[in-house]
Amino acid sequence: MSNITVRLPASIAHLTGDNKVVECAAHSVVECIQDLDVRYTGLKDILCDLDGNVSDLFFVFLNGENIAYLQGMKTTLQAGDELTIIPAAAGG
């Protein structure tokens, strides 16, 4: 498994003891989120919709590239990769 750095927004850092940067060991984005959810209960419920995809409330970037334009939750990870999770902004 690959060691990945995950950067979280302040709005959900309360789930990780206010840590905005955490590590996970995973082969894919979905495995990473599952791994984090085991350690930080409730994280997956906030980040994912009922189908297990990234919620419309967040964007997930792998090394600066939106995973929606890669293979989504199935996007593979390599050692040293960085996932950045940011809240979607809405305005009107």
Q: How far apart are CA 38 and CA 69, in angstroms?
A: 27
Summarised one tens digit per residue, pLDDT across range 41-74 is 999 999 999 999 999 999 999 999 999 999 999 9
Q: What domains appear along the chain, each with residue ranges and CATH number?
A: 2-87 (3.10.20.30)
6-21 tens-digit pLDDT: 999 999 999 999 999 9
pLDDT on residue 91: 64
